[in-house]
Each structure stands twice: as C-alpha cells, then as structure tokens.
C-alpha cells in the first residue's frame, strides 16, 4: 500500500514537500546488494512510538522505516526505488502540515488532515486500486 505523507518528519527525511510510504510485509522485502552497509538510527514518529530508519551511508538516501507499532511490516521510502513509474498513492495523509502551495489531486484516494484512524481502510482502497490495474 502506498500513500503520500505530508507530516513534518516526512518533509525532513525526504528534504522535500512530502514522503511516499510503501507499506510492505517485511518478509517480502529483500536487498539485492549493499544491505550490510546500511546505517540505521532510531527516532519517534508523530504517534510517539519509536521507529528505526535505514539509509545509505554513501548517498544519504532514506530507504525504509520500521516501526515498533508493527513488527511484520516496513515502510519503504518509495522514491528510492529504481522504477517509480508505477507508483500511485492511494491517499494523502497529514495534510494539515502540507506545503500551502501544493495542489493535490484529490482523486482517486481520500485525504486526511492527520493519520487515518483506521489504516485498514487505506489497505482496502489500495487493493481496489490494484485490482483495477
Ligand atoms: Zn509522515
């Protein structure tokens, strides 16, 4: 499931207007090379829970976050993928801190001032979107 996050953390980690979080099962993600070189650091998310952030020490690109909220999943920083053409966020979250000049396409997904109460709702939207190709 992919969403665009406009929280201040994501603005900082991407050094840009927003972050793209691709939520994947941890077991489904593997690094083809360089995994042993990754650097990690711990911080707290907007929800106050700790998360571990992994980045490339050579170029500084943030690669993924692992949250203590969910052991089984990681948030891949989707802008770091080799092929990003297929990416289409299912929703925008934390719009209350979005850059004021940013015009957001409100379709197909919903928008949230903060984090949605029910992340499962995003997952089911993602499934619908994926099924329609
Ligand atoms: Zn965020």
Domain ranges of the chain: 2-24+34-131
What pLDDT score does 92 carry?
93
Token representation of residue 51? 């998360």
- Residue 35 binned pLDDT confidence (cut-offs 50, 70, 90): confident
Q: Quick one: pLDDT band at residue 1, thresholds 50, 70, 90? A: very high
b/e per residue 103-113 (b: at least 16 CB within 10 A): eeeeeebebbe
Task: Name the pLDDT band for 121 (thresholds 50, 70, 90).
Answer: confident
* Span from the CA of 83 to the centroid of ligand 1 (angstroms): 22
Expressed in angstroms and rounded, the spacing between residue 33 Cα and the centre of ligand 1 is 27
Return the number of other C-beta atoms located less than 10 Å from residue 45's C-beta.
Answer: 18
Query: If you measure from the C-alpha of residue 94 to the centroid of ligand 1, how many angstroms do you get, rounded to a whole number?
Result: 7
| Residue of 19, 21, 20, 18 whose CA lies nearest to 98 | 18
Task: Say how many Å lie between the CA of residue 7 and the centre of ligand 1.
Answer: 4
Residues 58-84, mean pLDDT to the nearest whole number? 91
Cα of 115 vs centre of ligand 1, distance in Å, is 9
Task: State the distance from the centre of ligand 1 to the C-alpha of 48, rounded, in angstroms.
Answer: 12
Q: How far is the CA of 90 from the centre of ligand 1 (A)?
A: 15
**CATH architecture assignment, domain 2-24+34-131:** Alpha-Beta Complex (3.90)
Task: Return the H-helix or E-strand segment holding 76.
Answer: strand 73-77
pLDDT score of 19: 95
Is pLDDT at 82 greater than 70 in this prediction? Answer: yes
């Amino acid at each position: 499931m992919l969403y665009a996050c406009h929280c201040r953390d994501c603005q900082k980690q991407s050094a840009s207007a927003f972050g793209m979080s691709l939520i994947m099962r941890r077991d489904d993600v593997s690094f083809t090379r360089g995994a042993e070189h990754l650097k990690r650091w711990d911080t707290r998310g907007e929800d106050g829970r700790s998360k571990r952030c992994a980045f490339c020490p050579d170029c500084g690109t943030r690669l993924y976050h692992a949250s203590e909220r969910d052991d089984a999943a990681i948030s891949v920083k989707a802008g770091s993928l080799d092929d990003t053409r297929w990416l289409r966020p299912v929703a925008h979250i934390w719009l209350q801190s979005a850059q004021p000049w940013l015009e957001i396409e409100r379709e197909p997904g919903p928008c949230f001032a903060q984090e949605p109460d029910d992340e499962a709702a995003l997952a089911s939207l993602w499934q619908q979107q994926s099924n329609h190709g």
